[in-house]
Amino acid sequence: MRTLEEYTKERLKLHPEEIESFIQVMFEEYAKDKDAGALLSALRIVAQVQGVGKLAQDAGITRNGLQKALSEKGNPRLNSISGILESLGYHLTVQRIK
């Protein structure tokens, strides 16, 4: 039986057009529950789908640094998360809480 992570990776590889929605939902969920581990796990899945080596290079960090930052116990700096998102084609924005 596949894990949810395995299913999600396979789904995003087959349907890369769904990555943007996946990223948006993971940040919306993080805004609600503040589960940094889940957010990092979701970013790790996207990194694996896109290619960890290329993503790390585009983000300006080492492959090992990227893997460490996105690990379950990772505690990445804001500039690391920003660099990772930018290498995926996104950026952080501020939105007023309603």
Domain residue limits at 45: 4-88
pLDDT tens for residues 56-93? 999 989 999 999 999 888 899 898 899 999 999 999 88
pLDDT at 57: 93
54 in a structural domain: yes
44 in a structural domain: yes
93 in a structural domain: no
pLDDT tens for residues 12-71? 999 999 999 999 999 999 999 999 999 999 999 999 999 999 999 999 899 999 999 998
In angstroms, the Cα distances linking 56 to 48, 51, 65, 97, 98 are 11, 9, 8, 32, 35
38 in a structural domain: yes
96 in a structural domain: no
The average pLDDT across 2-19 equals 95
- Exposure string over 4-33, b if 16+ CB within 10 A, otherwise e: eeeebbeebeeeeeebeebbeebbeeeeee
pLDDT at 33: 95
Number of domains in the chain: 1
